[in-house]
Structure 1
Amino acid sequence: MTRSPHQVSTIIKSKAIEAGFSFCGISKADFLEEEAPRLESWLNQGLHGEMAYMANHFDKRLDPRKLVEGCQTVVSLVFNYFPSPSHIPLNHHFKVSKYAYGEDYHRVVKDKMQILWDSLQDDLGEISGRMFVDSAPVLEKAWAKKAGLGWIGKNANLIIPKKGSFYFLAELLIDIPAEPDGPIKDFCGTCTRCIDACPTDALSPYWIDGSKCISYFTIELKEGIPASMKSDFEDWIFGCDICQDVCPWNRFSKAHQEPRLEPSATFLDMKKEDWENLSEVVFKELFHYSAIKRTKISGLQRNILYVNKKNES
């Protein structure tokens, strides 16, 4: 049975919700004309720091048809990761980005996408394509914006109206046409709370200097934090949520319902001295399936040392 693009879109969105995603939006696979000069300018200014991979596959980042042969449709998916207040660590002085409290989101979201993919195969017949969770040269936020899921805020995050920005983004690139959605307006208004709150001045309206971001320093940077760096990281040792925490739209955030994203009791009970005295064995055991393992224990120790020195000065 041949489905119309409208029917395909309806089925995809329905199945996405059944698989556990919060929202789903559809875009026609095409060249991201608006993003091309922005990406080129961002790279030319060196705002990606030492994240050399961001300069790779420039054409594929802007055109999914060059990434996945035969791609006709980009399906944008969002998955809530905002924790319950009872699962926000209170016993230590170090801070970890909320997305890393539980199991590595790549694993969790990819499993949800596989459920969705299998379900779509049953309903739409044999479809071809690929699924991505922050694992390929795909401009996730640009596609989510194009699909009308939200707007790109002044903190460079996707903000969903009356839902906030604590969401993982993922995409299905498929070879069948589906009725596309359209973008919505920007609701940041005159607010600059995210820009004003950033301790490293990494933000300017709708731009982020990745080479100044606390998340960059604590995760992406593989060498030592430069001696020229004078900013206070405000106790963040893995990632940073400041620009999201201060965003008025995140007052609408609701706790996720995914058990695999919940922090372990050990993580919640960790105090400052536990982090400082973390051994290689305990690190591997505690963060084996966590996004935190990406920084390795050496990176975590480097971050803790930097934060402690700033607190002493």
Structure 2
Amino acid sequence: MNVIQLKQEIIEYSKKIGIDKIGFTTANPFDEMKNRLIRQQELQYQSGFEEKDIEKRVNPALLLDEARSIISIALAYPSKMSQRVESKKGERRGIFCRASWGVDYHIILRERLQKLEDFIKEKVPEAKCKSMVDTGELVDRAVAERAGIGWSGKNCSIITPEFGSYVYLGEVITTISFEPDQPMEDRCGTCNKCVEACPTGALVQGGQLNSQACIAFLTQTKGVLPVEFREKLGNRIYGCDSCQTACPENKGKDFHFHAEMEPDPEIAKPLLKPLLQISNRDFKEHFGPISGSWRGKKPIQRNAIIALAHFKDETAVDDLIEVMMVDSRPVIRGTAAWALSKIGGNSAHLALEKALLKEKDDEVLKEINQGLSFIK
């Protein structure tokens, strides 16, 4: 087997199947990343969505016997909508982050990775492979950085010279010993714009993220959102792009290579009020195909309520009153009570007083009482 030739054939094949960038690295442990993950754990900066076993996150040999190399891939996604819809008075809209536009990227990358695996096994039948995207054990960013896909930016994203940080990442661990590519030099320099742009200060410093304070994480939680973060949410209903849009490397970067990544503007930037009463069936039908739906409709509805408060949308008062009075979920009722107090007005005030007499949940009662004191 000519490994040098095989590597070149894989590179050429990757272009044919819609992989925008590919890199190769060894399957050696990621020792530096291990130290960083341990530190993150000590500081309680982890989101809780990660693989719990740090060793599995940094040692490819634990994931595939006789692992020798890792192939890292990147696919560029759009940063702008080809068709736009506007948020206006009475028809306010929320926004999903760019990484959630179009078909769920896990599906897109897994399909590309499977084709890559099939190609490798066709060339080398005895080869073993293991692919993963995002939810796998390895840290995609660490793999991509070492494979020369891009450098690890201060915004904790891989930044590529070609596509900025608007890329999805995935990798294949394999038993074939490929010549590794060279990592890329860090180009962030003294720029600190992403850190300065973070709405909650979750970017503690360049390259260090406190996930517990990150809006991208907070929008995916299902519980009551702390008041100090509600004010920072704006009209985001899933994810956050602030640290990416602030990055000079992303200026002018907008690629539309993959049809399945193109956003439906009515999904990527949906009307807020209809979300309050959307059924499970309708939610699955409309939002099921995108990655931002993975936690179900509850976080999206809670965030939509907060967004309506952000807009101080008086046309939503009746909708919010209904949610506060009849929704079966305390988190949603309590958030609606808070939103009504932020929008204000006589109808909101009267509804809160009425709800105070009916409500049984302590946390919701707390929101109502705080809301009443705020209105007064």
Q: Normalising to structure 2: TM-score of the pair?
A: 0.77
Distance 1:173 1:88 in 2: 40
1:116 alignment partner in structure 2: 116
- 8 Å CA contact 1:155–1:206 kept in 2: the answer is yes
Cα gap change, 1:167/1:89 in structure 2, threshold over 3 Å: closer, same or farther? Answer: farther
1:16 alignment partner in structure 2: 14
Deviation at 1:135, TM superposition (A): 2.3
1:147 alignment partner in structure 2: 147
Given the alignment of the two structures, is residue 307 of structure 1 paired with residue 314 of structure 2, yes or no?
no
Kindly indicate which of the two structures has a greater share of residues assigned to helix: 2
Q: What amino acid does structure 2 have at the position aligned with 1:307?
A: A
Distance 2:269 2:189 in 1: 40
Distance 1:78 1:287 in 2: 24
Distance 1:192 1:136 in 2: 30
Distance 1:254 1:108 in 2: 18
Higher relative contact order (CA 8 A, sep 6+): 1
Gaps of 5+ in 2: 313-341, 343-376
Distance 1:230 1:213 in 2: 12
2:129 alignment partner in structure 1: 129
Distance 2:279 2:261 in 1: 24
- 8 Å CA contact 1:43–1:55 kept in 2: the answer is no
Cα gap change, 1:269/1:38 in structure 2, threshold over 3 Å: closer, same or farther? Answer: closer
Q: Normalising to structure 1: TM-score of the pair?
A: 0.91
User: Which deviates more, 227-236 or 176-185?
Assistant: 227-236
2:206 alignment partner in structure 1: 205
**Cα displacement string for residues 216-239 of structure 1 (whole angstroms, at most 9, x for unaligned residues):** 1111x2322124535411211101
Given the alignment of the two structures, is residue 104 of structure 1 paired with residue 104 of structure 2, yes or no?
yes
- 8 Å CA contact 2:77–2:254 kept in 1: the answer is no
Given the alignment of the two structures, is residue 165 of structure 1 paired with residue 165 of structure 2, yes or no?
yes
Distance 1:163 1:104 in 2: 19
Distance 2:44 2:206 in 1: 17
- 8 Å CA contact 2:95–2:270 kept in 1: the answer is no
Cα gap change, 1:129/1:188 in structure 2, threshold over 3 Å: closer, same or farther? Answer: same
User: Which deviates more, 144-153 or 231-240?
Assistant: 231-240
**Cα displacement string for residues 212-260 of structure 1 (whole angstroms, at most 9, x for unaligned residues):** 10011111x2322124535411211101111111111112423222222
**Cα displacement string for residues 19-53 of structure 1 (whole angstroms, at most 9, x for unaligned residues):** 2111001001001122121110011100014x1x5
Cα gap change, 1:270/1:45 in structure 2, threshold over 3 Å: closer, same or farther? Answer: closer
Say which SS state the counterpart of residue 75 (structure 1) adopts.
strand
RMSD of equivalent CA atoms: 2.0
Say which SS state the counterpart of residue 70 (structure 1) adopts.
coil
Write out aligned runs for 1:283-294 (5 A).
283-294=283-294
1:45 alignment partner in structure 2: 43
Distance 1:89 1:193 in 2: 28
Distance 1:231 1:272 in 2: 17
2:25 to 15, 24, 27: 27
Q: What amino acid does structure 2 have at the position aligned with 1:38?
A: R
Distance 1:80 1:274 in 2: 31
Distance 1:145 1:174 in 2: 18
- 8 Å CA contact 2:267–2:287 kept in 1: the answer is no
Say which SS state the counterpart of residue 47 (structure 1) adopts.
coil
- 8 Å CA contact 1:283–1:297 kept in 2: the answer is yes
Given the alignment of the two structures, is residue 190 of structure 1 paired with residue 225 of structure 2, yes or no?
no
User: Which deviates more, 193-202 or 286-295?
Assistant: 286-295
**Cα displacement string for residues 80-104 of structure 1 (whole angstroms, at most 9, x for unaligned residues):** 1125531455345311111212111
